[in-house]
A and B are shown apart, each in its own frame.
Chain A
Amino acid sequence: GEDVEQSLFLSVREGDSSVINCTYTDSSSTYLYWYKQEPGAGLQLLTYIFSNMDMKQDQRLTVLLNKKDKHLSLRIADTQTGDSAIYFCAEDWYGGSQGNLIFGKGTKLSVKP
């Protein structure tokens, strides 16, 4: 079925690394996404990875993709208080629809000073 799973909460100390995990369902997905949502705001695109890649790095962000286990992770290095937000994992369910995404429920990241 269509289901993207994420843990609901993560708490880290400022300066530590954060790792947010996600499992998805469709092995034929073309793109997998990470979005950030601050209170009362829209979704900010953080990064995305094509399904034939294993890893993508963008400044403090590292995305790892394990296609065999259908597992996606987002690592934030040197986590700051400004990183506190809800992080959503999403997959492009129809494999290239460019807009029809299945989202997880989101992981709330709390960063303690």
Chain B
Amino acid sequence: DAGVTQSPTHLIKTRGQQVTLRCSPKSGHDTVSWYQQALGQGPQFIFQYYEEEERQRGNFPDRFSGHQFPNYSSELNVNALLLGDSALYLCASSFLSGGNTGELFFGEGSRLTVL
């Protein structure tokens, strides 16, 4: 049973470029949440997708957008990259349709470096 998988694991971009990160949730899960973890900090919630719609959003600008596909996988897009967007981007999955069991699993993350 595959856990939460993310791709790519590492990538380097330059300021002003755009990036797309991908996440496949754990088998049986239907909800994907995205987090940004800056160096030395705890993760910060970006947004959550359920039933292909953005369900909740944290305090991030509109440059951060996402999408969820019918197979529950998700993408995080960041436009007009800034140096401060350099971070580890984490995806977490859960099963919302089954009620809140508390089970929330994270992937290994995608490390983005903006030069």
Partner of B96 from the list A44, A50, A92, A98 (CB cut-off 8 Å) is: A98
Chain B positions within 8 Å of A24 at CB level: none
Q: Are B42 and A99 in contact (CB-based, < 8 A)? A: no
Given contacts A96-B100, A98-B102, 14 further A-B contacts (CB under 8 A): A4-B42, A33-B104, A40-B111, A42-B107, A42-B108, A42-B109, A97-B48, A98-B31, A99-B48, A99-B92, A100-B33, A100-B48, A100-B56, A104-B42
Interface residues on A, range: 20 to 34
Contact flag A30-B102 (CB < 8 Å), given A41-B108, A98-B96, A100-B48 = yes
B13 to chain A: closest CB distance in Å?
A: 19
Partner of B106 from the list A4, A31, A45, A92 (CB cut-off 8 Å) is: A45
Q: Whose C-beta in chain A lies nearest to the C-beta of B111?
A: A40
Give A25 to B65 CA distance when docked, in angstroms: 29
CB neighbors of A among B17-57 (8 A):
31-33, 40-45, 48, 56
Q: Are A30 and B45 in contact (CB-based, < 8 A)? A: no
Closest 3 CB pairs of A and B: A103-B42, A99-B33, A42-B108
- Residues of chain A whose beta carbon lies under 8 Å from any beta carbon of chain B: 4, 30-31, 33, 35, 40-45, 48, 50, 88, 90, 92, 94, 96-106
Most buried by B among A41, A50, A92, A100: A100
User: Is B87 located at the chain interface by the 8 A CB criterion?
Assistant: no
Chain A positions within 8 Å of B40 at CB level: 105
Most buried by B among A31, A43, A48, A94: A43
Contact flag A100-B58 (CB < 8 Å), given A33-B104, A42-B109 = yes
User: Is B90 located at the chain interface by the 8 A CB criterion?
Assistant: yes
